[in-house]
Amino acid sequence: MREEDSNWFAKWEEELPSPEELIPISQSLITPDLAIAFDLRSPNHRSNGNSGQPLPQTTPSQANSSAEFAADSAGDEPARTLKRPRLVWTPQLHKRFVDAVAHLGIKNAVPKTIMQLMSVDGLTRENVASHLQKYRLYLKRMQSGGGGGGGGNVGESDHLFASSPVPAHFLHPIGRQSSDHFMPSFVPIAALQQQPPQFLHRQISAANFTSPTSNGKAMDQSLFLARQNQQQPVLIRPSSLHLHSQVANNAEDLESGAKTVLTLFPSRHD
C-alpha cells in the first residue's frame, strides 16, 4: 500500500456518475430551496407508460410562473422558513457513506468527517449523524443475530444496508483506525467544500418545471429529497427502468400540496 492511497480516491471518484448520466435527471431537478420557496406545483403525470402523450389536456405550459404559487397563500409565509426536504438514502448514497467510513476508520468516522469525505453537497452533518446512528444499530443487530440460524428478520431498512457490503473492520473493534486504508494527509478537493447548507447549482436550473416523462434512464442517483407535505413519496428503485420522477401533482390537490422530489447527486466540482 504505497501509491494505493493516492489511487483510492481516484477510483472512488470513478464511481460517480458521468456528466452524461446526470443530465437526464438533472432535467427533473429543482433546487430544493427554490421548489419549497415557491411551493412548486406541476401537472401531474399519470404513471402511464406512456406511449402516448403525457399530459393531453392539463395546461401544457406550466407556467409555473407566478400564478400558481401565489395562490397558495394559505395564510402563512412559506418562503420564510424553508424546511429541508427529507433526505432519502439510496443504495448509492449509502455506499458512499460506507466507503467514507471505511476509509476514515471507525475511530475517525464521526459525522463531520464522514460528511466531508462523502462530499455530497446538500448533505448535512445531521443527515450523516442520523444515518450513522442507524447504521451502527444495524451492525450491532447483525452481529448478534446474523449468523446462523436461519431465521432472519431483516427489516426494510436492513435491505438498504445490505446493499453495501460491510467492511470487515466494522465488526472488528480492533484497534486499527484506518490501517489498511489510511487516508492521505490531504483532503480531496471535493471534500473541501464545506459550504453552507444551501444548494444552488447551475445544473439544477428551474428549467425542469415541466417534468417531461422522458426519463428512461435509470436514474440511480444518490440523493432524493422529497417535500414533506406529500401524500406519496416517490420511491425510487435503482433497478427500475423508469420511475415516476419528480413533481407530480396537480390542481386536484386541494390541500395536500405539491409533491416535489428533488435529487442531489454527488457533486464533484470540477
Partner DNA sequence: ATGAAAATAT
Partner DNA sequence: AATATTTTCA
What residues have CB less than 8 Å from 176, skipping those under 6 apart? 105, 169
Under the binding rule (CB under 7 A), the answer on residue 134 touching DNA is yes
- When asked if residue 155 is in the footprint of DNA (CB under 7 A), the reply is yes
**Length of the chain, in residues:** 270
Helices 91-108 & 111-118, crossing angle to 10 degrees? 130
Q: Which is nearer to DNA, 145 or 155 (CB)?
A: 155
* Stretch in the footprint of DNA (CB under 7 A) among 36-44, 79-87, 97-105, 192-200: 79-87
Closer Cβ to DNA, 112 or 269, answer by number = 112
Q: Helices 111-118 and 125-145 sit at what angle, rounded to 10 degrees?
A: 110
> Looking at 160, 190, 204, 248, which residue binds DNA (CB under 7 A)?
160
Q: Which is nearer to DNA, 9 or 224 (CB)?
A: 224
Nearest distance from C-beta of residue 128 to DNA, angstroms:
8
Q: 264 - beta bridge partners? A: 223
CA dihedral 96, 140, 130, 22 (to 10 degrees): 20
Q: Does 245 bind DNA (CB under 7 A)?
A: no
Q: Where would I find the H helices in the chain?
A: 4-14, 19-26, 32-38, 66-71, 91-108, 111-118, 125-145, 156-162, 168-171, 189-192
Least CB distance to DNA at residue 93 (A):
9
Q: Out of 11, 46, 112, 176, which residue is the one contacting DNA (CB under 7 A)? A: 112
Question: Residue 225, SS3?
Answer: strand
- Among residue numbers 191 through 230, which ones bind DNA (CB under 7 A)? 226-230
* Closest to DNA by CB, 84 or 169: 84
Q: Using CB under 7 A, which of 37, 82, 129, 142 touches DNA?
A: 129
Q: Which of 28, 127, 245, 267 binds DNA (CB under 7 A)?
A: 127
Residue whose C-alpha cell is 431537478: 29
- State which of residues 37, 82, 132, 166 lies at the interface with DNA (CB under 7 A): 132
Side-by-side strand order, sheet with 86-89:
86-89, 223-226, 261-264
Residues that bind DNA (CB under 7 A): 83-84, 86-89, 110-113, 125-127, 129-134, 136, 155-157, 159-160, 226-230, 232-233
